């Protein structure tokens, strides 16, 4: 009986030993710290996380101009949002009682403990809420049409860019190349030939997306006020 127990113990012990002496040990899970240490030794540690100077400046101009156009086109939407803010927020004032404002005229609001504008929604009375709700309902159709126009301009700018690229790819106007141009030659010239149109198409796409965001935000605000009023 003791021989049987000894044999069983030996079998269990030997079952943990790999049949192949060269067999690899089970892979141990790596911790986040170990993974970051490994990545720090690779090219990922040198990965760029910010736009270089020229591109950063171009993006600043693009976004600023797109915002300017959107604020001009959807002036009534931002006016409604301003009415909201003036109802539920408190403007900062200096020692003489003059309200502080940013360069664009927007008031500097009192901040809460998290650094966000402090808001008291109990100050939004039913009459003001109904007035804003009706303003949204009347103007939503107008804003949707503006957004549709911006989308049409974005699509048209894309067509202009593609046609300009195709013209450069096929005709290569003003370009001298020795021998028969390759597909890469034509593609490179087409990209250079249509660079202005390509960047303009990007700009118009940005304006269109911002316009679409305005309509979606206005729609969400309308349904929120509608549900609140119904109560």
Is a pLDDT exceeding 80 seen at residue 221?
yes
Is a pLDDT exceeding 90 seen at residue 149?
yes
Q: What is the pLDDT of residue 188?
A: 87
Contact 193, 187 (CB under 8 A): no
Is a pLDDT exceeding 60 seen at residue 39?
no
Q: What is the pLDDT of residue 124?
A: 86
Is a pLDDT exceeding 60 seen at residue 172?
yes
Q: 107 - beta bridge partners?
A: 101
pLDDT in tens, 61-76: 999 999 999 999 999 9
Residues 93-108 have a mean pLDDT of: 87
* Mean pLDDT for the chain overall: 84
Q: Which residues contact 189 (CB under 8 A, 6 or more apart)?
A: 168, 169, 172, 175, 181
Q: Give the span between the Cα atoms of 20 and 37, in whole angstroms.
A: 32
Q: What is the pTM of this model?
A: 0.73
């Amino acid at each position: 009986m003791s021989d049987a127990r000894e044999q069983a113990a030996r079998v269990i012990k030997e079952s943990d030993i790999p049949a192949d002496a060269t067999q690899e040990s089970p892979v141990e899970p790596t911790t986040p710290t170990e993974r970051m240490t490994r990545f720090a030794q690779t090219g990922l540690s040198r990965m760029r996380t910010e736009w270089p100077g020229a591109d950063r400046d171009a993006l600043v101009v693009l976004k600023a101009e797109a915002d300017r156009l959107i604020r001009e086109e959807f002036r009534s939407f931002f006016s409604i949002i301003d009415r909201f803010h003036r109802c539920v927020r408190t403007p900062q004032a200096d020692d003489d009682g003059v309200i502080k404002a940013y360069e664009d005229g927007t008031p500097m609001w009192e901040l809460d403990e998290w650094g966000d504008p402090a808001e008291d929604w109990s100050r939004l009375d039913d009459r003001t809420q109904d007035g804003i709700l009706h303003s949204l309902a009347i103007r939503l159709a107008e804003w949707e049409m503006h957004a549709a126009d911006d989308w049409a301009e974005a699509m048209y700018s894309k067509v202009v860019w593609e046609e300009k690229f195709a013209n450069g790819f096929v005709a290569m106007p003003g370009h001298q190349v020795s021998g028969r141009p390759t597909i890469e030659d034509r593609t490179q010239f087409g990209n250079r030939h249509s660079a202005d149109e390509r960047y303009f198409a990007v700009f118009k796409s940005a304006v269109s997306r911002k316009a679409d965001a305005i309509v979606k935000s206005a729609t969400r605000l309308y349904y929120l006020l509608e549900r609140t009023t119904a109560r």
